[in-house]
Chains A and B, each alone.
Chain A
Amino acid sequence: MTWELFLLFFQQSLMSGLVTGSIYALLALAMVMIFNTTDVPNFGQGEIFMVASYIALVLLVFASVPYLVMIPLTLAAVFFGGAIFQRLVLKRVALARGASVNLVIATLGLSYFLKGVMRQTGIAEVPRSFPALFPTDSVSIGMATATVQDFAILGLALAAMAAFFLFFHFTRTGRAMRAVGMNPRAAILVGVDIERMRWLVWGLSSAIAALAGILISPKLLMTADMGIVVILGFAAAIVGGFTSLPGAVVGGFVIGIVENMVGLFVSSKAIVVAPFLAIMLVLLLRPQGLLGGKATAKKV
Chain B
Amino acid sequence: MKRATLAVVILLALFALPMVASGYILYLANLLMVFVVLSLGLNILIGETGQFGLAHAAFYGIGIYTAVLLNNATGAPVLVTLLAGASLAALIGLVLGAISLRMRDIYLALSTFAFGEAVRWVFASWTPVTGGPNGLRINPSNLFGFKLVTDRDAYLLVLVVTLAFLLLTIQITRSRLGSAFRAVRESEIAAAAMGVNVRGVKIAAFALSAFYAGAAGGLFTTFSSFIHPESLGFMTTIMVLTMIVVGGLGSVVGAVGGALILGLFSELLRQLLSFQEIIYGAILMLCMMYAPRGLMGLLERKQAGR
Contact = CB atoms under 8 A, between A and B. Distances in A.
A and B touch in the complex (CB under 8 A): yes
Interface of A: 35, 40-41, 89, 92-93, 96-97, 100-106, 108-117, 119-120, 231, 234, 238, 242, 269, 272-273, 275-277, 279-280, 283-284, 287, 298, 300
Contacts of A298: 189
B278 A276 contact: no
Nearest to B46: A101
**Which of A35, A120, A275, A283 has most B Cβ within 10 Å?**
A283
Given A101-B52, A276-B117, A277-B118, A113 B274 contact: no
Nearest to B285: A109
B73 interface: no
22 contacts: A41-B110, A93-B292, A96-B290, A96-B292, A97-B288, A104-B106, A105-B288, A106-B284, A109-B286, A112-B235, A112-B238, A112-B277, A112-B278, A112-B284, A113-B282, A113-B285, A116-B278, A116-B280, A117-B278, A279-B114, A283-B114, A300-B189
B106 A109 contact: no
Contact of B281 (A112, A269, A283): A112
Query: 3 closest Cβ contacts across the A-B interface?
Result: A113-B281, A109-B284, A116-B277
B292 A97 contact: yes
Given A89-B289, A116-B279, A276-B114, 14 more contacts: A93-B289, A96-B292, A106-B285, A108-B281, A109-B284, A109-B286, A109-B288, A111-B281, A116-B274, A120-B274, A231-B117, A269-B125, A280-B114, A287-B107
Contacts of A106: 284-285, 288-289
B13 interface: no
Nearest to A106: B288
Contacts of A279: 110-111, 114
Interface string B46-77: 00001010000000000000000000000000
A92 B292 CA distance: 11
Contact of B111 (A35, A104, A117, A284): A284
B188 to A, nearest CB: 9
A41 B288 contact: no
B169 interface: no
Given A96-B290, A113-B277, A113-B278, A280 B111 contact: yes
B241 to A, nearest CB: 7
Contact of B52 (A104, A113, A272, A284): A104
Interface stretch (B20-28, B97-105, B194-202, B211-219): B97-105
A106 B114 CA distance: 19
A19 to B, nearest CB: 24
A96 B125 CA distance: 43
